[in-house]
Amino acid sequence: MKLIQLIYMSHLVGPDETSLGPILSSCVRRNTASGVTGMLLYANGRFLQVLEGEEDAVEKTYARICHDKRHHDALLLSREEISQRQFNNWSMGFRHMSEEDARHLPRFTPWFRFGLESNDLAGSSTVAREMLAFFNEEKV
């Protein structure tokens, strides 16, 4: 059994954030069934998500996500084999990042406030990993 971890970012379609609730409920339901775990962060119209689990389950989930019309421009930041899960507390942890978070986490302020340019994250997935790990450990 091969475990993989995949990180991508994307943009919400339009200004309407009411789709976040339904997105999250299908995440939890489907990931529980397929053994996929991870974390979904949202701020200012941008998503950052990590998915992990058995290769086949993660690939199928990501393929479905890429076809979802509620977001666009999915950009894969990282895909790698892992020996153990890092986000196994969550079928899908979720955080809608706020101004309050931005005040407490100056390191990530540009991303919270303005939306980090995709190119910044694509060049190095380090900041993305740090943010995801931070909220994972905070047990939001």
Ligand X SMILES: Cc1cc2nc3c(=O)[nH]c(=O)nc-3n(C[C@H](O)[C@H](O)[C@H](O)COP(=O)(O)O)c2cc1C
Residue with tokens 């303005």: 114
Nearer to ligand X, 28 or 122 (CB): 28
54 near ligand X (CB under 6 A): no
104 near ligand X (CB under 6 A): no
CA–CA distance from 45 to each of 20, 48, 51 (Å)?
11, 10, 19
Token pair listed for 1: 């059994």
Closest CA to 36 of 82, 75, 69, 77: 82
Scanning 64-72, 79-87, 105-113, 115-123 for contacts with ligand X by CB under 6 A, the matching segment is 64-72
58 near ligand X (CB under 6 A): no
136 near ligand X (CB under 6 A): no
23 near ligand X (CB under 6 A): yes
